[in-house]
Amino acid sequence: MALAVATLTVRGASTGGNLLMVVGLQMLVGSVTLGAVSAVFEPFSLTVTPVFLAAFAYQILVPGLAATLIWFALVGRIGSTRAATFHFLNPFFGVAIAAALLGEAVRLLDILGVLVAMAGILSVQLSRARTTPPMTPMTPTTPASG
């Protein structure tokens, strides 16, 4: 739900050309919200190591900045509905990458989850096909005789 709201909000706000400011504000609101919730429910513990710093930098640069810029470029290019269907592919890629890189076993629930995601993609594509009016052939116009 939050992704849908963010996508539609940024699509409208990005026409002014200040996309990075909008995305930055979204991330700020999200981080403040998560910080407040974690302060209530989680004990504070932080050990700064080179691995932690590398992982933190990666999170900022790759999914935080690069993926966000790619996502909104995609929304601008193909529209929010079609772009959102790519999010349905996240479970598939997660299962595939975990199996390929980490040696994770692919279980029945993983396969069922991927099938549900694929059904979601199919339903979105079929609904778009049904709502898109068919193209009609152009008929030549004849000059008015007078």
DSSP class of residue 17? Answer: T
CA distance 101 to 113: 20
Q: Which residue has the tokens 């995601």?
A: 117
Q: What is the pTM of this model?
A: 0.52
Could you read off the pLDDT of 106-124 as tens digits, one per residue? Answer: 999 999 988 988 888 888 7
Could you read off the pLDDT of 55-93 as tens digits, one per residue? Answer: 999 998 988 888 888 888 888 888 877 777 777 787 788
CA distance 121 to 109: 18
pLDDT at 81: 74
Residue 40: pLDDT over 70: yes
Yes or no: say if 10 and 23 are a contact pair by the CB < 8 Å rule: yes
